[in-house]
Amino acid sequence: EPELTGDFATLMGWADGFRRLRVRANAETPLDARTARQFGAEGIGLCRTEHMFFDEHRIQAVREMILADDEAGRRAALAKILPMQRADFVEIFNIMDGLPVTIRLLDPPLHEFLPQTEEDVRAVAEAGGLDADKLWRRVRELHETNPMLGHRGCRLGISYPEIYEMQVRAIFEAACEIAGAGRTAPIVEIMHPLVAKGEEMRFLRNLTDRVAKAVMAERAVELPYAVGTMVELPRAALRAADLAESAEFFSFGTNDLTQTTFGISRDDSGRFLNAYLEKGIFEKDPFVSLDQEGVGDLIRIAAERGRAVRPGVKLGICGEHGGDPASIQFCEAIGLDYVSCSPFRTPIARLAAAQAALGEREKDR
Ligand code: PEP
Ligand code: MG
């Protein structure tokens, strides 16, 4: 079991005395959540729920949902997933013991849950008792040339609200169960991915509030919660004022924001990146160390415009950059509230946040 002990723990304690930024972790499994806490994370800044759907039992139900002909069919498949999702959240909330947990609703395109070749389709259909022809047809229907720019993120939740309704229900049923059992209720933060427009945010906010209130009324439990958005598209950053009308927090998804700002695929950047690094066009890999110029400008603009409408809007970062010291320094300089990084980077982030805070103090002298 990882643990911070001895001089290392002492050093971390000192660092915590200096830092202003809160440090959270990206975690969606109980193991990650435990590691995050052992390394001093003060909450979960990004719980990627899609990772909870790849499990063997679940992927079968997800496939049934994708194969359904109508909303009723999708709802029937989602009803099978609901208790499993609820159990996921009960476990994570228990581990986090009252700390904030930001849960991001389903993000990837649906084809990621399906086999991709005709041969695999036949095998999967046979193993799961599914209609092979229909499955293959659906695979082709869902095919997208640029899936990262396609039917993913909140677009899925808007096309098929029943998916997000199931997830919000699972989250609040779990939270109410814990509170009802007398344990410390989690601070629930529901986060919507890939939002670009205020209209999307308003739709999602209404959906979230409606389901949250229904569950809390059923259980006779009142819990505070927040609804917010990832800011991971340039349009979201530019239109942050509109988003802040219905979003209580922004979390900068700098993986997608870097991809969409540069127009460079986060998955294939290696094809030319080395040449760019060699020729000095890039000083650093922008997917590792935040581009403090263009991407940084968008973050600054979003912070400023969001705060103009909602002065207390909570601001964090949850892309890979949240665990990179130079990027953390930037987050401190522009006054974000927290960084969220992979559990094993939490100590680095705590140290970097302390150094960044000291650096800012020097500047003020
Ligand atoms: C991001 O885009 O920066 C992000 C944190 O989300 P994901 O990596 O899951 O797309
Ligand atoms: Mg993203």
> pLDDT for 188-223, tens place per residue?
999 999 999 999 999 999 999 999 999 999 999 999
Task: List the residue whose alpha carbon is closest to atom 6 of ligand 1.
Answer: 253
User: Do 342 and 26 touch, CB atoms closer than 8 A?
Assistant: yes
Question: Would you state the pLDDT for residue 4?
Answer: 78
Question: What is the rounded average pLDDT of the residues 121-141?
Answer: 94
Nearest atom (ligand 1) to Cα of 193:
6
Q: Is 324 in the pocket of ligand 1 (CB under 6 A)?
A: no
pLDDT band (50, 70, 90) for residue 2: low
pLDDT over 90 at 297, yes or no? yes
Place 83 in a pLDDT band, splitting at 50, 70 and 90: very high
Ligand 1 atom with minimal separation from the 50 CA: 9
pLDDT at 1: 54
How many Cα neighbours within 13 Å face the side chain of 186? 28
CA of 181 to the centre of ligand 2 (A): 35
The b-or-e profile of 129-159 (16+ CB within 10 A means b, else e) is ebeeeebbebbeebeeeeebeeebbbbbbbe
The residues, ordered by sequence, that sit 6+ positions from 331 with a Cβ below 8 Å of its Cβ are 21, 317, 322, 339, 356
- Backbone region of residue 263 per phi and psi (left: phi > 0; alpha: psi in -120 to 50; beta: other values): left
Ligand 1 binding pocket includes 318 (Cβ within 6 Å):
yes
Q: Which residues are annotated as a binding site?
A: 48, 104, 232, 253-256
CB 65 within 8 A of CB 110: no
Residue 69 has pLDDT above 80, yes or no: yes
pLDDT in tens, 219-245: 999 999 999 999 999 999 999 999 999
Nearest atom (ligand 1) to Cα of 321: 3
Q: Any idea which residue has 């207390």 for tokens?
A: 312
3-state secondary structure at position 189? strand
Q: With 0-12 CB in 10 A as exposed, 13-18 as middle and 19+ as buried, what is 23?
A: buried
256 lines ligand 1 (CB under 6 A): yes
pLDDT at 268: 81
pLDDT > 70 in the chain, percent: 99
Arithmetic mean of pLDDT, 13-34: 96
**Could you tell which of 44, 192, 256 is best to mutate to test the pocket of ligand 1, judged by most ligand atoms within 8 Å of the CB?**
256
Give the whole-angstrom CA distance, residue 154 versus residue 160. 10
| Ligand at shortest distance from the CA of 48 | 1
Cα 65 from chain centre: 23
Overall average pLDDT of the 124-152 stretch: 94
Atom 9 in ligand 1: which residue has the minimum CA distance? Answer: 48
Measured from the alpha carbon of residue 287, the closest ligand is 1
| Chain mean pLDDT for the chain | 95
Determine if ligand 1 sits within 6 Å of the CB of residue 48: yes
Measured CA distances, 321 to 50, 288, 325, 339, 342 (Å): 21, 6, 8, 9, 10
Contacts of 211 (CB under 8 A, 6+ apart): 165, 168, 169, 172
Asked whether 26 and 356 are in contact (CB, 8 A), the reply is no
Quick one: CA dihedral 76, 80, 86, 88, positive or negative? Answer: negative
Q: Which amino acid is at 147?
A: P
Please report, as a single letter, which amino acid is at residue 76: A
Report the pLDDT value the prediction gives residue 196, as an integer from 0 to 100: 98
Mean pLDDT for 85-95 is 97
Span from the CA of 254 to the centroid of ligand 1 (angstroms): 7
DSSP states along 203-222? HHHHHHHHHHHHHHHHHT--
Query: 363 pLDDT exceeds 90?
Result: no
Catalytic machinery residues: 318
